[in-house]
Amino acid sequence: MLELSDITAGYAGNAPVIRDISLSITPGEAVGLLGPSGCGKSTLARVAALLHHPDAGTLVVDGTPVRRWRHRAPREQRTAFGVVFQQARLSADPRLALTDLIAEPLRATGLREGIADRVAELAATVGLTTDLLSRRPHEVSDGQLQRACLARALVLRPRWLVCDEMTAMLDASTTAALVRVVEEYRAATGAGLLAVGHDRVLLDRWCDRTVEWATLTRP
Ligand SMILES: Nc1ncnc2c1ncn2[C@@H]1O[C@H](COP(=O)(O)OP(=O)(O)OP(=O)(O)O)[C@@H](O)[C@H]1O
């Protein structure tokens, strides 16, 4: 269970951008989050994925309250999340070949063995051909890079996926392919999903339920 309760969060030196927001996702559930631009969906998604420290409120992940965020979060909690952002180019180290990009979380956790096999397996899963794996981000298309970012998000077999407008920059066929990869992964592992987006039709089709931002604030 992912339980965000009364979350207030913002950015240094400014007033909070979200206030008293609550959202719960049951194990294995897929929840779509819709709301107007700038309302704070990404901020909430980042709090949920332990990437942004809230000013107030609580987050409980699978029964364990989160006390630290970002690099201070315990590895077990941090690695429970796989995150894919809208702008793959901003979230990909431009110096890394796609193979190393996908392997990054494995190396960060100190793993040394089985990396090549795991990367090959995931590359096939997301539809990246072998010749693309030695290229760096500027040598591949947005869709190919986003496929690599999705592979990176799955590489540690997370229990939760946070897809923040993952497909906003992509064409219809790449969107369908990436959503299918996420759904196959969820079917195989029982992982839960928070999918932030603007496309109600896509979210309704993809997720078990779609929530409107306005309903997350206490009356
Ligand atoms: N790093 C930052 N520093 C300061 N303010 C920020 C930062 N990131 C976001 N904001 C502000 O916080 C508010 C919420 O932004 P956020 O990206 O969470 O909204 P969003 O609902 O995801 O928007 P969109 O749908 O346009 O992506 C906005 O007013 C934005 O300008």
Per-domain residue ranges of the chain: 93-157
In this structure, the residue with its CA closest to atom 18 of ligand 1 is 40
The count of C-alpha atoms lying within 13 angstroms of the C-alpha of 105, restricted to the half-sphere facing its C-beta, is 24
pLDDT, tens only, 14-68: 899 999 999 999 999 999 999 999 999 999 999 999 999 999 999 999 999 999 9
Q: Collect all residues with Cβ–Cβ distance below 8 Å to 70 and sequence separation of at least 6.
A: 50, 51, 52, 53
- Rounded Cα–Cα distance for residues 129 and 96 (Å): 17
Q: Give the ipTM.
A: 0.96
Give distance in angstroms: CA of 197 to centre of ligand 1: 14
Positive/negative CA dihedral, 71, 73, 79, 81: negative
Is the pLDDT at 215 greater than 70? The verdict is: yes
pLDDT tops 90 at residue 218: no
For residue 167, how far is its CA from the centre of ligand 1 (angstroms)? Answer: 18
Cα of 11 to ligand 1 centre, how many Å? 9
- Mean pLDDT, to the nearest integer, of 135-150? 97
Ligand 1 geometric centre to CA of 38 (Å): 5
C-alpha distance from residue 105 to each of 101, 152, 155 (Å): 8, 7, 7
Q: Which residue ranges have their beta carbon within 6 Å of ligand 1? A: 11, 14, 17, 35, 37-43
Distances (CA, A) of 173 to 140, 170, 176: 17, 8, 5
**Given the CA of residue 43, which atom of ligand 1 is nearest to it?**
18
Integer CA distances (angstroms), 218 to 21, 195, 207, 210, 213, in order: 7, 21, 23, 18, 11
Q: Which of 18, 19, 33, 41 to mutate to test the pocket of ligand 1 (most atoms within 8 A of CB)?
A: 41
